[in-house]
Structures are given as structure tokens and as C-alpha cells.
């Protein structure tokens, strides 16, 4: 099925990002997104729409990190607005669930690290900084939420 090709491209993007091969990560992300773009959500039934959404969010996050490393801030900002706008507008918790899964799999750390580095080390315009800071905050909140001790109440 075509979504497996997108999933494989997304996995390769993550590996390329970890190896600091940003051009290759960008290429894999773009392949994943183009592959997913061939279908409408009506083409999928069952759990597939969530898997497709997960691959899309993951690919966009890797693209943002790659664009930042390649100093293509305009494109990073565009993808950032896209992922934030779509992810948060739905309000169904799917975006946060994808971030949590990425965090648990160790896939969110490279993105968080690159975001933090770009926001502290680069001179960015206000709108780009605003969107990237908002994304960085969401990633940090996800990390904190996952590693907070669970309160079982008074015993």
C-alpha cells in the first residue's frame, strides 16, 4: 500500500536527521508528504487516517528541523504554521498524541534540539520566532507531561 512508502520515507528522514544529513532528511520528508498527498482521507478506513496524520505531522516536523539547519527560515516558518494550524485547529488531541508517541520513540529530541538551537543562536524575524517558539513550547510541554510522576492520590 502507498502509505507504507510514506512511512518508510518518514523513518528514513528521522535517521537522516539524526546523522545530520539535512538535505537527505528534507528529500525523504518531501517524498513522504507527496506520497500521502495522492490520497484523500476518504480513501482510508479504520485506523489508517490516524496513521496517515501521524506520518504527515512527523514529516513536517522533520522538514522544519531540516529547513532550520539549512537556514531556510521562510520555509521552516511556513511548515511550522501549517503543522500548528492543522494540528491545533482540530482539537481532537491527535496532534498531542502524535507528539507523545514521537517522544516515547525518541524521535522528538532531534527536532526539539534543533528548534532550541535555532531560537537561541540565530537572528530571526518576529513572526518566525513567534511560530517556532510556540512549537518549541508544545514539544517541551509534551516532554514534561510524559515524564511527570503519576499521582495516585492519598493512600
The answer to whether 73 and 124 have CB atoms below 8 angstroms apart is yes
What's this model's pTM, rounded to 2 decimal places?
0.83
> Which CATH number is 5-147's, of 1.25.40, 1.10.472, 3.40.1130, 1.10.10?
1.25.40
**38-54 tens-digit pLDDT:** 766 555 554 477 788 88
Question: For residue 143, which of 105, 117, 87 has the smallest C-alpha distance?
Answer: 105
**79-135 tens-digit pLDDT:** 999 999 888 787 778 888 889 999 999 899 999 999 988 888 766 666 677 888 889
Amino acid at each position: 500500500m502507498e502509505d507504507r512508502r510514506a512511512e518508510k520515507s518518514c523513518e528514513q528522514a528521522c535517521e537522516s536527521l539524526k546523522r545530520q544529513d539535512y538535505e537527505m532528511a528534507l528529500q525523504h520528508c518531501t517524498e513522504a508528504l507527496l506520497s500521502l498527498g495522492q490520497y484523500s482521507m476518504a480513501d482510508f478506513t479504520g485506523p489508517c487516517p490516524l496513521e496517515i496524520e501521524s506520518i504527515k505531522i512527523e514529516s513536517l516536523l522533520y522538514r522544519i528541523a531540516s529547513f532550520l539547519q539549512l537556514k531556510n527560515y521562510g520555509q521552516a516558518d511556513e511548515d511550522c504554521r501549517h503543522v500548528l494550524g492543522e494540528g491545533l485547529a482540530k482539537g481532537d488531541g491527535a496532534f498531542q498524541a502524535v507528539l507523545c508517541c514521537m517522544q516515547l520513540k525518541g524521535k522528538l529530541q532531534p527536532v526539539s534540539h534543533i528548534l532550541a538551537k535555532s531560537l537561541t543562536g540565530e537572528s530571526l524575524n518576529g513572526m518566525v520566532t513567534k511560530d517556532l517558539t510556540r512549537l518549541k513550547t508544545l514539544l517541551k510541554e509534551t516532554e514534561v507531561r510524559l515524564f511527570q510522576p503519576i499521582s495516585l492520590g492519598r493512600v
